[in-house]
Amino acid sequence: MHKNDIPDDESLTRHGYASLDARQNTLLIACGALAREILDLKTRNGWDHLALTCLPAILHVHPEKITKAVEDAVAKHRDHYDAIYVVYADCGTGGLLQSACDRLGVEMIKGPHCYSFFEGNQVFAEHGEDETTAFYLTDFLARQFDAFVWKPLGLDRHPELRDMYFGNYTKLVYQAQTDDPALTEKARDCANRMGLAFERRVTSYGDLETTLSRWAKSEPQG
């Protein structure tokens, strides 16, 4: 993918993204926080038959709005595609998104959240109680830490509240999808600001890649 084709983080956060072509027969409805990863996988694997529309990533600050937004997107696009898949995990909807997808007859990616499917749902589950005090960042969230964590919690105005919010955490786990030293340092700075130990864990795309690969191969490319 050409550098100029990569959507910027602010746009993905506030407005989402769309890459649609009348020749494409399968639609992915995804979170804006996953746009770069999905576009990279589409390019590397030649999945030209997959169209992509992303909802604003900032919906994660209000997870109660995610299910309705996905339902509306499915209704908007249903008549134009042979198949639709939802690239969201549960993401704080308390099972409501899964229920909606079941009712609509569309498959969604498995997992409680993207931290789980990036690492691999089975591997993540095996951490068990060992990681109940871990705070997670992905590549996107490391870049957008202020927009999704610091400012919504008011820490840009009241940094003295830091320990009240993060006092029960012991470490920040940066799940690296890419090998980017600058981004690693940004994630490390986030840990320092939160007063937490730092751990970098290379996950690449995990179950996101295997799931998209299965969906891509299950549909005709003509």
Res 219: pLDDT? 53
Structure tokens at 91: 């993401």
CA 103 vs. chain centroid, Å, equals 23
pLDDT at 221 over 70: no
Higher pLDDT pick, 11 / 3: 11
Average per-residue pLDDT in the chain? Answer: 94
Cα–Cα distance list, 196 to 74, 89, 106 (Å): 40, 26, 39
Report pLDDT digits (tens) over 126-174: 998 888 999 999 999 999 999 999 999 999 999 999 999 999 999 999 9
CA torsion, points 168, 208, 97, 147, in degrees to nearest 10? 50
- Give 3-115+205-218's CATH code, choosing from 3.30.420, 3.40.390, 3.40.50, 1.10.10: 3.40.50
pLDDT at 74 over 80: yes
DSSP letters for 9-74: HHHHHHT-EEE--TT--EEEEEEGGGHHHHHHHHHHHT-TTEEEEEE-GGGGGSGGGHHHHHHHHH
pLDDT at 3 over 70: no
pLDDT at 2 over 90: no
> Is 143 exposed, middle or buried (CB count within 10 Å of its CB: 0-12, 13-18, 19+)?
buried
Cα separation, 132 vs 193, in Å, equals 20
Which pTM value belongs to this model?
Answer: 0.92
> What is the 8-class DSSP label of residue 88?
-
Residue 46 falls in which region: left (phi positive, over 0), alpha (psi -120 to 50) or beta: left
Domain range summary for the chain, segments of one domain joined by +: 3-115+205-218, 121-202
Cα separation, 5 vs 145, in Å, equals 23
Report pLDDT digits (tens) over 6-45: 789 999 999 999 999 888 999 999 999 999 999 999 999 9
Res 129: pLDDT? 80
